[in-house]
Amino acid sequence: MIPESVSGEPGPCDVVIRHPKEKKSKCSLQPLVGRMDIIFHEAGSGFKFDATGYILLQVDAPVLSEADAGLPLLLLDSTWRLLPQLEATLTGIPTPRSLPPWLKTAYPRVSKISQDPARGLASVEALYAARLLAGRPIDGFLDHYYWKDLFLEQFKKS
């Protein structure tokens, strides 16, 4: 099922599913709430989401290509440790894709509980890169991201 955007126009409208423990005050995606091309859900008790027809961004999946450009993106927003709980809310069969391995996060991650994957990105970085690679609008995505300039340096080198 390809979603409709909030305005009722045909998709693709990307979806972000947040873990209930994700602190919105620290979330890199929070400045994007209210955009007409992204729908945010909080995965509270009993939440389920049919991911069929979506590209699910994952670390070790095949790399996103131009052939994927017409499908909406699905991003699971949580700490790496809590990610399996969000994955358990998904039903249906999404198309797993990753971002190119040369992309590195600019966000200075420090976890005292678990180690983050080397290829992991901040949520706003992942959504920005996926939309850019798919030829989709990215206007304003990084306007409020503190590490914007450092992250964008990678695209100049590629």
Q: What's the CA gap between 84 and 78, in Å, rounded?
A: 10
Q: Are 14 and 127 in contact (CB under 8 A)?
A: yes
pLDDT at 106: 67
Question: Residue 70: its pLDDT value, please?
Answer: 84
What number is the average pLDDT over the span 76-104?
Answer: 90
Taking the C-alpha atoms of residue 142 and residue 158, their distance in angstroms, rounded to an integer, is 19
pLDDT at 103 over 90: no
pLDDT reported for residue 120 = 67
Q: What is the mean pLDDT of residues 99-122?
A: 65
CA angle 139/19/60 to nearest 5° reads 70
Share of the chain above pLDDT 90, in %: 34
Is residue 9's pLDDT more than 60? no
For 105, the token pair is 């996060």
Q: Which pTM does this prediction carry?
A: 0.81
Residues forming beta bridges with residue 41, ordered by sequence position: 17
pLDDT for 155: 72
**pLDDT tens-digit map of 11-60:** 468 999 998 887 776 778 888 898 889 999 999 999 999 999 999 999 88
Q: How confident is the model at residue 153 (pLDDT cuts 50, 70, 90)?
A: confident
* Token output for 122: 């901040």
Asked if pLDDT for residue 87 goes beyond 90, the answer is yes
140 dihedral zone (left: phi>0; alpha: psi -120 to 50; beta)? left
